[in-house]
Structure 1
Amino acid sequence: MILPQLELHKISNTFENMTHKHDNQYQLTIPMQGTCFFTHEHKPVTLSAGEGLILQPRDSHSFHIENGASVLIIRIKTLDSNNQSHRMPEEFRLRQTFDIGKVADYYQQWASELLVPDRLDPMAVDETESRILAGVEELLWGDSSRKTCRENQPGPDFHYSRVLEYIHAHYAEPINVDTLASMAMQSRYHFIRSFKSITGLSPYQYVLQRRVEEAKVQLKRTGKTVTEISFELGFASTSQFHRAFLKNVGMTPERYRNEMRI
């Protein structure tokens, strides 16, 4: 599973790869079952289930597993020096022990989120990616990542007023979460958390809600088709429009229009 800033791979049973490196990615390798026979910078490393290893960019490595074993690999792209929220310090090169049950729960959650149809919407992808990165932070740093997040959550202020004004002016257009985060002067990850604490919705959910409210107006007052309304309001597809409308209103757009005409 590949997203703009990260990759998730679960490999099971017999597997072996050649020595290689990733120029701009950190790699977290966690054996879920059995043993992973790893080679890191030409040195053999044996990893048991739950014993993970974090590689820095450009570390040479290879590994193999045997039948009955499985391994989870998470690759995260390096970020520029102005965004420190997911940079991994050098000390994380060494092995770490992880709770396999917790890792498995996270993986199932991530896999489910990546299978939803709204992956076509860039804003939905941004939020999904941020939730996964937050989960990785939780696995690595534990409670300290939550504390850092709480310390970086501002109250409703001028910056968030600007964000809301921008959304209300541009909700029918493609909106980039990073653009909103820069307006709030936060990283994407902290922005999504802060926005939800202030509005009760994620940025993506808020935009969908605003689009649905305008769709209700157009369904009542115009003769535009559902498809026309869907694309004019920035939905990625008519099916996404139907899902969002049903979730927010409790009925399909067609039924809503018919009931408004009675």
Structure 2
Amino acid sequence: MINIPELLYIWYYKAPKIKNHTPRIIPEGQQEVEIFFSGKGFFEYEDSLLEVVSGTILWHTPGDKTIYMNDLEHPYECIVVAFKYENIRNMPRVSHWTDKSLLQQFISDILNEYHKDCPDMTKLACYVYGQLYWQSKAPDNKMPLHEKRSIEIQRVINFIEKHFAQNINIDNLSQVADISVPHFHSLFKKFTGNTPYHFIQARRLQEAKILLASTRLSVKEITLKSGFHDVGNFCRVFKHNNGVTAQEYRLRYTDKR
């Protein structure tokens, strides 16, 4: 049985647009996981340079340095999860989350739970550590998408990741997959667990939360950048899914240092 360490914090990080920046050194008593979901960087690992892309998981223990080498055209973005360190490295230093749709859902789930008014940190620690343990120990683990259509669905997921801020409809997506609209809708839900509409909405909400917490953009600007286009609709959807308004979310989770 694995021992679930205490969860200290979860936060979002986007690399600055410079080639190299100062790495952080993990302090005593703490371990950090960098979960990459966008962009590209490079990491010194076992005397070689490892390319870090979406799905890469880096697990750091005290004294380790975080990633600091960046791709200028596509700066990397990651979720950082910190746990208390108990003198045992249970996880491999580098692993990979192969299924991007599951990774996207995982990130959305943990951010939504962490940013609740009174998050259950013990429950969240169990979920986060358990998922990371599974992915790190079985890096080739995938959803059971053995049908040949899995390639087309993954192509659609990649398309959504690149174009979620634009006006996307199911006709566009079915064309990307080269599958008829009715068949595409059922296959997409089977493979991802969500309808195309809810999958896109979840990605847009995630982007909005990141922008609210990490920029000074207005709610109107964030509405457009996250793909909602209508401020009134965005505000209603955001509050319905998060329990607070966009402005309340910003006040709670913007770094005030």
TM-score over 0.5 for the pair: no
Structure ID, larger Rg: 1
The TM tier, using the shorter chain, reads 0.3 to 0.5
TM-score under structure 1 normalisation?
A: 0.39
TM-score (norm 2): 0.40
More helix by share: 1
